[in-house]
Structure 1
């Protein structure tokens, strides 16, 4: 009788554990493809406005900075380069913060840092002050917001993922189209210091965007770790590190770096390595056009107003490409070919670059701006989709952090390299050809890797369907033995090869 209370307590504890497990399973779900997901898209849309669009609008302050600080264009241009580079360079940091704390905390913290950078920048007394505040601090804040917000869209959408990303990423083009004249008006009315203060208040809306990022637990997050490729890679690494210790399942929790290994195990996936190399070449090619299209148009006799009109066309068509291409690739006929569509868009932008030196009038440059702008928006939309296809939604935030990190160096290097080629050759042909071949190589490299993978899968499938008739298989409980018999035609002898030798008796 004394054991009855103990048995009762044990039974209650068991029931409590089962209830908690059922609760966790109830909270896990599949991507809703709607509902609150559209609020996540709206939040990501605002994040891209407050980060990418505001970054582009910093160039409007160039003349004011040059005049006030009496510096040349090269010195002043470093402000924009530092912001852009820091946003991409620190993208993995944003993924780490959102994974270990939450996406909401990461975006809110990033909004506070970015706003502080603008406010302190309005008090700047030198360009070095602007490098640290408007460049480093604001870029770091943007980095904490950008990749986590994009990753959240991938968690809420599966069937309509490309469309959701198209709407979310269009904030960059729409924001630039709206904010550019507004920022110019603010500078005229309140000077550059007042305009920076107002932009600092506007960027605080990132905190509101962060509040919208309601966390979601997917069924994929609750799978057995052995079913996750990232966890399998982590398990293999830990097993190799301690081959004579306890079993892997018991040893893994005590590994001090297991968390980081799990988050970044996708770096060992061959498909992701190829994607990373491809992104480097793609990022090198896509950046210089936005810097040198207007100077090139002026060099072939296009007026200043018409050259600015080309940039407006490029921005508007970019928005259309974001939304419509995302919608198209979500259709049933293209759903399984989204990576091919990404390769197609990148390759076509490369071909546009190759044709650009032959286009020397406004009627020819307008179709170029439309074509390049559309497919530029198309592949930007599909970058998160292709990344999610390779690494899955669990590691998507960390993977996007790495992908955007890889944009940093090409963004920083490609415009100066293109400028050096223009100065050396006296024309824009060499610079545009190098960018074009870089984007085409990016597309061909990723496509070639996917073709090899598909051929290997087909070969393995054929081997599975048509096994070697000389092989016979016996089973003994849970152990299988394969015995291969080969006939030696020259000696007339039979050779039995067995691993291990099977004795049916």
Structure 2
């Protein structure tokens, strides 16, 4: 079973839940961190296999597609094997895949073993990270989610320059081998996921022959869930487009060194960590409209992405990256209460999974599409223009898809 069948309890509002926050923090650091740092590997792929920069971005596309598949399989795995066993086995699977990719003789092998498979693992752990914490927290949910999700920021902060240093010293093959070994720590974090049986779990009818199919049908029948997915497609495509090409812009257009350029991802990570904690506290305020926070922050982030087109120096680009990072990280955790309000707390696992699946499947082609435009135009700045359009439109659509109500509060 997916949950421990001891005496049912209410969410303890802390306790062992803080160790769950630590586990999710480690998952985010060692799964999302390397993914955001993929642009560090682009130049190595281009030099090793003679592909274009646009073709190298298929690494990110493969990761996003794998993540989308993982979003849908997590509820099936946890129903059969439970949270802890699922997280443990997937963590080992992903780490071994990255290690094997160090033997690649073609870029397609890297796309599969460093992109798709780790993306599949990340998708599963991502859904689990958003659903296991709410089982322990209610009043301090947004703070707990914000703290746990800062792991992705710390991961990128440390791993972006670390991967570049490893590539310089050991080559890209040695860097991937060491990165795979580091990822094994996700399995250690999985051991912290202690099962908990809540009173809300009793609502499920054990006489149903196929409860999974019943839940899935109930969730997919929510029109607003599909609308939320479309909004996230635009928002995440804008963010991924910016992060995927900002290093190339710094090195090719501004003439910045590769190691110095990778620190832009570290800036993104550090600012993201701070902003998620700040907005996590804000999200728990009962008088704060979640939707308005999402709209305003995403709109500002979109404007900052567009402004990058006109930047002429590295210092200004670093400032631009800082402001964009502060406001773009909000939606990552703030959509959890939005989805919970659409499908209900009981079906949150499937709701997050479907939203993530749709946004990742469609969004997996966004970065390669932007890369195609960059290759065709010969100007990497077009990546900023397209990404800004995606982000701004996505932010404004929130007003039409989820009109804010006067009594709206965090779920």
> Larger Rg: 1 or 2?
1
Within the candidate set 24, 28, 36, 1:44 is matched to 24
Matching residue of 2:401:
449
Q: CA deviation at 1:36?
A: 0.7
| Contact map agreement 1:89 1:406 (CA 8 A) in 2 | no
Identify which of structures 1 and 2 has the higher relative contact order when contacts are C-alpha pairs closer than 8 Å and 6+ apart.
Answer: 2
- Rounded to whole Å, the distance in 1 between the matches of 2:170 and 2:261 is 28
Structure 2 residue 7 is matched with structure 1 residue 27: yes
Larger mean CA deviation between 407-416 and 33-42 belongs to 407-416
Q: Cα distance 1:381–1:318, how it changes in 2: closer, same or farther (>3 A)? A: same
Q: CA deviation at 1:114?
A: 0.6
Structure 2 residue 334 is matched with structure 1 residue 382: yes
Matching residue of 1:88:
68
Dislocated runs of 4+, deviation >6 Å: none
Matching residue of 2:220:
267
Structure 2 residue 161 is matched with structure 1 residue 163: no
TM-score (normalised: structure 1): 0.71
- Rounded to whole Å, the distance in 2 between the matches of 1:349 and 1:93 is 31
Where in structure 2 are the equivalents of 1:57-456 lying within 5 Å?
Answer: 57-69=37-49, 71-223=51-203, 253=207, 257-297=210-250, 301=254, 303-304=256-257, 307-334=261-288, 337-362=289-314, 364-422=316-374, 431-451=383-403, 454=405
| Contact map agreement 1:116 1:138 (CA 8 A) in 2 | no
Give CA deviations for 1:369-396 in whole Å, capped at 9, x if unaligned. Answer: 2221001122223122322232233212
Q: How many residues align?
A: 404
| Contact map agreement 2:54 2:371 (CA 8 A) in 1 | no
Give CA deviations for 1:308-344 in whole Å, capped at 9, x if unaligned. Answer: 554433332122112111122223442xx22321222
TM-score (normalised: structure 2): 0.85
Larger mean CA deviation between 290-299 and 323-332 belongs to 290-299
- Rounded to whole Å, the distance in 2 between the matches of 1:74 and 1:342 is 31
Give CA deviations for 1:189-233 in whole Å, capped at 9, x if unaligned. Answer: 5444443333222222222222211122222222376xxxxxxxx
| Contact map agreement 1:86 1:136 (CA 8 A) in 2 | yes
- Rounded to whole Å, the distance in 1 between the matches of 2:38 and 2:375 is 26
| Cα root mean square deviation, aligned | 3.2
Q: Cα distance 1:130–1:217, how it changes in 2: closer, same or farther (>3 A)? A: same
| Contact map agreement 1:51 1:146 (CA 8 A) in 2 | no
| Contact map agreement 1:166 1:325 (CA 8 A) in 2 | yes
More strand by share: 1
Q: CA deviation at 1:64?
A: 4.3
Q: CA deviation at 1:42?
A: 0.5
Q: Cα distance 1:76–1:369, how it changes in 2: closer, same or farther (>3 A)? A: closer
2:334 alignment partner, SS class: helix
